[in-house]
Amino acid sequence: MSALQIFNPTGWLGGQEANPPLLQETTTVINQGAQAILIDFTHVTFVDSMGVGILVRILKRAEKEGCHLYLCSMNSSARMIMDMIGVDQVFDIHSDRESVEKAFAEQSG
């Protein structure tokens, strides 16, 4: 397993799913010992409060296992909902994937 696991969700992050695929997939790699996870929002069109809840659950699981969570390429509406809910400062959010890769290299170097 590479040290930085990358996820590329698409469409709407949130909705009514109790156990969404992104949560399942990230939990699996966290349990397998991933050092860091990047969720790239390039193809995410909308994030609702349930989506933010999913991200918080992923973050808590990652922190518990010593795994760092990065987010990148969030559109303005996704950033706005995170700001409105008050969790934008909790996450390590970067403008693009290259910025995350650089931060990860510095952190693990």
Q: What is the pLDDT, as a whole number, of residue 16?
A: 74
Record the pTM.
0.93
pLDDT band of 2, cuts 50, 70, 90: low
Owner of token pair 């969030």: 74
pLDDT in tens, 32-67: 999 999 999 999 999 998 999 999 999 999 999 999
pLDDT in tens, 8-27: 999 999 887 666 899 999 99
- CATH numbers and ranges of domains, the chain: 4-108 (3.30.750.24)
